[in-house]
Amino acid sequence: MRLTMLGRPGAGKGTQGALLAEHFGIPHISTGSMFRDAIRSGSALGALAKRFIDRGHLVPDDVAIRIVEERLTRGDCRNGYILDGFPRTVAQARALDAALHSTGHELDAAVEIRISDEEAVMRIAHRWVCPECGATYFRRYPACAERSRCQVCNATLTQREDDTEETARERLAVYLVQTQPVISYYEERGRLITVNGEQSIEEVFREMVDSLTRVRDELESSGAL
Ligand code: AMP
């Protein structure tokens, strides 16, 4: 299955994308993580991306499209993948469709995890991550979070540099102007699935799996998978 995860920053795309990838046995491809890896490695791509990420703005379309197109040519994407954080603009959505069509494929579904604006800002400002395994945690009190360790690998939790309240508000504004139209793009093409993101992680996951299993069964019975 070829899927993309959409939703406001903080909606849970990363958490749910990782769970879905494990469930369906396909790779989870996060453009945000790819940019953060590039920043850590000190590459020219990382330096360019950092200028935009630090301000809560989107990296230019041509850069995001190039790294995704390159990533999708790798062997592990043969049977499908879950994109997380891409496409973030209608231009990116069109480029993805064009790349897929050129290889005789289609995006099977775009899954929107829906949360409110207030919930998005609140979640991002209180989000802490494990620098080792990427697990995310919600910690309302910084003093307590600074002493917290990852429950999976015991590393000390950190905060993403772009997870401040100020940057969160900017990222949300950017989302509403540039990424919200991507939701309509997929809705108009009959490929949108919307789930309520303001439930427990397990409930959101179950809702997504139920919808996506139906999509997969339909594709299989029509011979498209
Ligand atoms: P994320 O981890 O998905 O929240 O992404 C973190 C940041 O990386 C975003 O705020 C953008 O600055 C940048 N980014 C990630 N994916 C894209 C994309 N598809 N297009 C442009 N910028 C992106």
Whose structure tokens read 């190039």?
66
Q: For residue 197, give the CATH number of its domain.
A: 3.40.50.300
Positions marked active-site: 13, 88, 127, 160, 171
Q: What is the mean pLDDT of residues 199-204?
A: 96
**Ligand 1 contact, 136 CB (< 6 A):** no
Residue 53 has pLDDT above 90, yes or no: yes
Whose structure tokens read 């795309």?
13
Q: Can you give the length of the chain in residues?
A: 225
- For residue 33, the enclosing domain spans 2-222
- pLDDT band at residue 223 using 50, 70 and 90 as cut-offs: confident
Residue 144 has pLDDT above 90, yes or no: no
Residue 71 has pLDDT above 90, yes or no: yes
User: What amino acid occupies position 199?
Assistant: Q
Domains in the chain, number: 1
Residue of minimum CA distance from atom 6 in ligand 1: 32
Residue 142 has pLDDT above 80, yes or no: no
Residue 145 has pLDDT above 80, yes or no: no
**Ligand 1 contact, 35 CB (< 6 A):** yes
Rounded Cα–Cα distance for residues 65 and 192 (Å): 21
Q: Which residues pair with 76 in a beta bridge?
A: none
Residue of minimum CA distance from atom 19 in ligand 1: 86
- pLDDT band at residue 27 using 50, 70 and 90 as cut-offs: very high
